[in-house]
Structure 1
Amino acid sequence: MAPFEAPTTKLVDLNQKSLFISAASIAFNPLFWNIVARQEYHNKILTKLFGGRSQAACYALAFTIFTLGLLRDFLYERALRDQPSYPLLELDEVKYLAYALIAVGNVLVVSSTWALGITGTFLGDYFGILMDDIVTGFPFNITDAPMYNGSTCSFLGTALLYGKPAGILLTAWVFVVYQIALKYENPFTAEIYAKRERERAAAAKKDTKKAQ
């Protein structure tokens, strides 16, 4: 008699190229905008391309980042369609959780964009377009990275909605990529604003001396 083997369900199909294409797209986007934004900050490459109009250059980068985001989402959904489903992830309770995560993710992303504006959201600091004050209201009073955390929630919600373990794996990759990006972005952005404050303090000191 042949030995009994419990039925197994393949969680992730590593033979699907779409899985790795999606993972590459997820990693590429923050790498792209960080490299381009730093080149802009140091060398003004985009501002020069737009004839010295930094705001127009920032809007062009915003459009590019937004378009790359749409492509990333398309590749992610395509990758999920190529992956096996898992029965436990097809329960109604999981679907409710999925919708909740997607809703939370969208609220975080949209509200942070509303609070920061287009230039504040899409790296305007690197173009010299600085905000007057640090935004501390919703959603920044809940999380210091609502765009990234909201996006991660949406990725996870979509994975659960499709019932795909591969989506959970890709969501973990999203989280890792965003955490690495934050380690580079946060100190750099903080230094941009610290530099402005030093320049303001120096200018105020100079004006005080002139007035004496």
Structure 2
Amino acid sequence: MSLLDASKASLWVSLASITFNPLFWNIAARREHRTRWLSELCGGPRQGCYAIAAAIFSLGLVRDALFRTAMQEQPALAALDNRVVQAVAVAAMGAGMVLVVASTYMLGITGTFLGDYFGILMDARVTGFPFNVLDNPMYVGSTISFLGAALWYARPAGLLVTAYVWLVYAVALRFEGPFTAMIYAARDAARDHPSQARKSAVKKKKL
């Protein structure tokens, strides 16, 4: 317990930020899918997607800043403060960045930032790197980056925060995966049975 100072408010604020971010984008995007509130507010689905992308990116910067502040106030472990661990930390942060950047490049802005919830669907599943290596490279890359930062700061508390990051992402995936699959299944069904899809759309509009 001497390696974790739970009395520091910065630690709990950091954990709250880590929890809030995926909660925010899932709630906002699902509401968009049901009501198109953000598309109407911003003047179109693409503009709405860019707006939520900016919000998610900004919240990510805040989350990272809060994490750094929390680590600076946590006890360090001398055994982690050496060149070997620092080299591993740099490698982890580099690998995480590669996964995140490569994922964004392959998906584009709308593919990365929940464009499917706005009705901006991709024609086919992306299978190039890093998706040919990992199912969720964006989340894996982000978690690895947290791990690298924890090692760089030589803070054991950072390792616990990293585990919590992965737990939060794992829970988010339990909701995001099936919902995204449902969106694309509805698109495919509409392609196979266009007349039935139009009837469903009219019925939904009346309701």
Shorter-normalised TM range: over 0.9
Checking the alignment, whether the CA contact within 8 Å between 2:100 and 2:138 is kept in structure 1 is: yes
Mapped partners of 1:149, 1:101: distance in 2: 11
Q: Counterpart amino acid of 1:75?
A: L
Q: What's the CA shift for 1:92?
A: 1.5
After TM superposition, which residue ranges in structure 1, 4 or more long, deviate above 4 angstroms?
none
Q: Percent identity?
A: 54
Partner of 2:104: 113
Partner of 2:25: 33
**Structure-2 residue corresponding to 1:6:** none
* Matched residue SS, 1:144: coil
**Structure 2: runs of 5 or more not aligned:** 198-207
Superposed counterparts of 1:142-157, under 5 Å: 142-157=133-148
| Aligned equivalent of 1:17 | 9
Question: Which amino acid in the other structure matches residue 58 of structure 2?
Answer: T
Q: Size of the alignment, in residue pairs?
A: 197
Instruction: Measure how far apart 1:93 and its partner are.
Output: 1.2
Alpha-carbon displacement from aligned partner over 1:38-92 (angstroms, at most 9, x marks no partner): 00000111011123x1100100000000000000000000000000100111121
Distance in 1 (CA, whole Å) between partners of 2:180 and 2:127 is: 16
- TM-score, length-normalised on structure 1? 0.91
Given the alignment of the two structures, is residue 91 of structure 1 paired with residue 87 of structure 2, yes or no? no
Distance 2:30 2:139 in 1: 19
Please state whether the residue corresponding to 2:111 is helix, strand or coil.
helix
Structure (1 or 2) with the larger CA radius of gyration: 1
Do the aligned residues in 1 keep the contact of 2:99 with 2:137 (CA within 8 Å)?
A: yes
Q: Deviations over 1:72-126 (max 9, x none)?
A: 0000000000001001111211111101100100000000000000000000000
Q: Which residue of 1 aligns with 2:177?
A: 186
CA distance in 1, matches of 2:83, 2:42: 51
Q: Name the structure 1 match of 2:39.
A: 47
